[in-house]
Amino acid sequence: MRDHEDILVFTEFKDGHPLKVGLEILSKARGLADEMSGGLYAMVLTDRADGFDMLFKYGADRVYAGIDESFRYYTGAYFSRMAVSLVENIKPYAFIIGATAMGSMFAPEVAAYLKTGLAAHVIDYKIDHAGNLVQVVPSFGSRVAAEILTPHSRPQMSTVRPGTFELKENLRNGSIVHLDTSELDYIAPRVTPLGFEEVKPEGMPLEDAEVVVVGGGGIETREDWENLKELSRLLNGALGCTRPIVDKGWSDEAHMVGTSGKTIKPKVYIGIAVSGSSHHITGMKDSGLVIAINKDENAPIFDVADIRIVADYKEILPALLSMIKG
């Protein structure tokens, strides 16, 4: 172990602003960097020279910024080249990347170039007495948590899903180091971004809602689904779903809660005809009050519920709707 170990965080930017997940990772990594008496550095690839202040606000000592028109959208060849160069140059102890759509392409690619280990979707970090970073990851949905170590290669790479860590301000007087982008002129990518098409999810975003109503595989008809929509609207909440509803075509992955969907922590979660696969539970287990309605008393969702209702939702839902409507 060296006398100080630095942590590098890739903070993804969009339209001149850092995504929240990057700030969440900085907030968490600040503590780790302090424990190692090292620096906390943010790497940014962006098409605008804006928004770096936020990185200092959440604990970055230094920002390595590559600014180029070609960073507007992700192109693996460009992003990986920049990251590999920077890592080889500053040799960080750990390199952490947000598990966004872009980060999920970028992180494995960089790890393969660097021939180092990559832990996916870390939920906690510790430093063990040998000086290795202990990366705790979920497996089999969230049924199991496993510790992943990368003992013999550096950097120890990992990804973190949005919403995993709390934001914590820790203002630093940091500096900006500009990355040289000239070597990109020699790369001819065979993947060319043509543009971005915004897809506005219907209704309130799941991540922002205080109340989330989730419909599961036991919802029988489209009409029932529409009733759930009304319930969520009456409660000023959002409507989420599990995989079977997506498969039926009533909703889409942007509204799916779980491992391959969203992670939510609303004040109140209401699961209606949700069985509670471990993939779904991963995405909702940190909710405040959990209310579950299912006619199968053995449904796993009841293990993580505060209020259990063993009943047919078809009987409860009309009563609930009419009571709320008065």
Partner 1 sequence: MRIACLVKPVPDPEYYNRISIDPVRGILTRAGIPVVMNPTDRHALEEAIRIKEKMGGEVVIFSMAPDDAGGILKDGLAMGADEAYLLSDRAFAGADTLATSYTLAKAIEQFGPFDIILAGNESADGSTSQVPPQVGVWLSMPSLAGIIRMEYGESFRVWCDVEEGRVEYEVTPPVVFAVKRGINTPRYIGIKGIMAAKSKKVSIIRVGDISVDLDRIGLNGSPTRAGRIVVPDIGRKGETITGSPGEIAEGIIEGLRKAGVIKEGMI
By CB under 8 A, the residues from 92 to 151 that bind partner 1 are 100-102, 104-105, 107-109, 111-113, 115-121, 134, 139-151
List C-alpha distances in Å: 46 to 107, 157, 190: 17, 21, 21
Q: Which stretch binds partner 1 (CB under 8 A): 50-58, 85-93, 221-229, 231-239?
A: 231-239
Question: Minimum Å distance from CB 41 to partner 1?
Answer: 22
Residue closer to partner 1, measured from CB, 31 or 201? 201
Residues 6+ apart with CB under 8 A from 51: 13, 16, 17, 18
Residue closer to partner 1, measured from CB, 11 or 277? 277
Is 202 one of the binding residues for partner 1 (CB under 8 A)?
Answer: no
Residues 6+ apart with CB under 8 A from 56: 63, 171, 172, 173, 174
Q: Are 83 and 119 in contact (CB under 8 A)?
A: no
Is 268 one of the binding residues for partner 1 (CB under 8 A)?
Answer: yes
Give the DSSP letter string of 240-262: EE-HHHHHHTSS-GGGBBSTTSB
Question: Minimum Å distance from CB 137 to partner 1?
Answer: 8
Hey, what amino acid is at 187? Answer: I
Question: Minimum Å distance from CB 239 to partner 1?
Answer: 15
Considering only 47, 73, 233, 244, the residue that binds partner 1 (CB under 8 A) is 73
Question: Minimum Å distance from CB 100 to partner 1?
Answer: 6
179 DSSP 8-state letter: P
Rounded CA separation 188/193 (Å):
13
Question: Minimum Å distance from CB 170 to partner 1?
Answer: 25
Residue list 158-197, contact with partner 1 (CB under 8 A): 189-197
